[in-house]
């Protein structure tokens, strides 16, 4: 679309029903703040600029917006005098002269870019105002959209509607698109002659019609329009988002053995022919290559997983993990800030942190990298084709060379050259008969306590 667009995102609400120290729009769905979902949809719909109207936690909301979109402007709403009053707080941005102005709400994370694009198309076809509506399963409490063919006549609030109007199921979502050339003229004529003495955005519909301008409606799915006001709303929206993403993943060729038990983040990227077993959670920043299997009860966050890898069950991959193709990460393995080379194996009961493991190397059960001294982190480097025996402790910083062999139970504190053997444990001492003496002594002590 060649038309320019400004999105005004209203994010100044107090969110008191969330009962939280954080403002509502910073609460997360799928690992992403509510307002970030809205900004992402606006960007996908072709927004050129964003104005965020902020209130509580203004700096945090502004920083989030600036981190997502170039040239974000933030405007503080110091008084709460209605939705139109909130939009006009961004007057300076609106006055810059964009073709389209989208008015969005920072607590509606399911709103799709497709719906916003359709609203913009209505403006391109000549409408001055376009309202996003939905068919409500239960319209009670919503403003009704009263239509005359394709034109919107008025938005009637539930408390003001006649019995006949209350039977209308077409409802107002609050989201609106305005012709940028007329936006301020319409907004500046909104009055506050109502019971709450507030300036309502919905009044622009009748103002535009009185000017002889076109007012249209585009339909969205009811779920798209859901706003978050309570923790219950947050849980519902999370559920709906996850259901939608699971369906998208399966349609794209990902196998989910028990879809309802798998949870994705907003940026999870998974290629076709990946198999995900039950009870797997993906935190932010994960990509998974084709042919990989994520076994049950694994948690993955901030990790890149290559093709044809096996993860889990009961594995935890933390941020900075990079798994090359055909590697194996088994049960009760935790990996953090570590690169695992092609074909390398870490099959069970192991912790690798701040490390690199070369191709085809094998890390035995119970091995740990001792990467922290209480103040600083240090790296462990393991070369290609190395073997680290079970129950070894690798005290960083340390380098284990290509083809090196570390004996089981070793504490490695010095570098191991290529193809060398390192054994870092005390020599075994065997004393015949002493086991029987110890058993007898312990039995006598126990008998003395009874």
In a domain, 129, yes or no: yes
Q: Are residues 219 and 247 in the same domain?
A: no
Last residue of a domain, one of 199, 225, 251: 225
pLDDT at residue 138, as a whole number = 92
Q: Are residues 79 and 128 in the same domain?
A: yes
| Gap between the Cα atoms of 125 and 263, Å rounded | 40
Residue 299 annotated among the catalytic residues of the structure: no
pLDDT at residue 349, as a whole number = 97
- Residues near 101 by Cβ (< 8 Å), separated by ≥ 6? 5, 6, 7, 8, 94, 177, 178, 179, 180, 183
pLDDT at residue 197, as a whole number = 87
Q: What is the CATH number of the domain that holds 391?
A: 2.160.10.10
Burial of 291 (0-12, 13-18, 19+ CB in 10 A): middle
- Residues near 280 by Cβ (< 8 Å), separated by ≥ 6? 261, 262, 263, 294, 296, 297, 298, 299, 300, 312
pLDDT at residue 389, as a whole number = 97
In total, how many domains does the chain have? 2
Active-site residue among 27, 37, 295, 348?
348
pLDDT along the chain (450 residues), means of 10: 93 89 95 97 95 92 91 88 93 96 97 97 96 94 91 89 92 96 95 86 94 96 95 97 98 98 98 98 98 98 98 98 98 98 97 98 98 95 98 97 96 96 91 94 87
In a domain, 430, yes or no: no
Q: What is the span of the domain harbouring residue 380?
A: 231-422
Q: Are residues 249 and 194 in the same domain?
A: no
């Amino acid at each position: 679309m060649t038309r320019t667009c400004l999105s005004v995102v209203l994010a100044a609400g107090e969110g008191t029903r969330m009962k939280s120290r954080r403002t509502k729009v910073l609460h997360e769905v799928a690992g992403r703040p509510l307002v970030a979902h809205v900004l992402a949809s606006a960007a996908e719909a072709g927004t050129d600029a964003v104005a965020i109207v902020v209130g509580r936690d203004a700096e945090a909301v502004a920083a989030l917006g600036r981190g997502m979109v170039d040239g974000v402007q933030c405007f503080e709403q110091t008084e709460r005098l209605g939705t139109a009053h909130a939009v006009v707080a961004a007057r300076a941005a609106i006055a810059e002269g964009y073709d389209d102005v989208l008015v969005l709400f920072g607590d509606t994370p399911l709103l799709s870019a497709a719906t916003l694009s359709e609203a913009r198309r209505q403006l391109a076809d000549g409408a001055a105002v376009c309202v996003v509506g939905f068919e409500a399963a239960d319209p009670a409490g919503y403003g009704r959209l009263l239509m005359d063919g394709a034109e919107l006549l008025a938005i009637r609030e539930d408390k003001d509607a006649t019995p006949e109007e209350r039977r209308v199921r077409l409802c107002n979502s609050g989201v609106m698109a305005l012709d940028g050339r007329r936006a301020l003229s319409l907004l500046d004529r909104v009055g506050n002659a109502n019971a709450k003495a507030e300036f309502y955005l919905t009044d622009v519909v009748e103002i535009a019609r009185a000017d002889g301008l076109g007012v249209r409606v585009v339909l969205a799915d009811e779920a798209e329009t859901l706003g978050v006001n309570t923790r219950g709303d947050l849980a519902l929206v999370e559920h709906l988002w996850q259901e939608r993403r699971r369906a998208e993943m399966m349609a794209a060729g990902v196998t989910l053995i028990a879809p309802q038990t798998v949870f994705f983040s907003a940026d999870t990227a998974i290629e076709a022919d990946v198999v995900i077993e039950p009870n797997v959670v993906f935190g932010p920043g994960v990509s998974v290559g084709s042919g990989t299997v994520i076994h049950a009860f694994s948690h993955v966050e901030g990790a890149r997983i290559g093709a044809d890898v096996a993860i889990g069950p009961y594995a935890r991959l933390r941020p900075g993990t990079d798994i090359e193709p055909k590697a194996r990460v088994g049960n009760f393995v935790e990996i953090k800030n570590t690169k695992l080379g092609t074909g390398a194996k870490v099959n069970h009961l192991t912790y690798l942190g701040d490390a690199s493991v070369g191709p085809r190397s094998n890390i035995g059960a119970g091995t740990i990298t001792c990467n922290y001294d209480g103040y600083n982190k240090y790296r462990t480097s393991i070369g290609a084709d190395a073997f680290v025996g079970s129950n070894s402790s690798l005290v960083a910083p340390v380098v284990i060379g290509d083809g090196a062999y570390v004996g089981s139970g070793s504490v490695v504190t010095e570098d191991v050259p290529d193809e060398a053997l390192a054994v870092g444990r005390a020599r075994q001492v065997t004393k015949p008969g002493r086991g029987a003496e110890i058993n007898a002594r312990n039995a006598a002590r126990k008998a003395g306590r009874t």
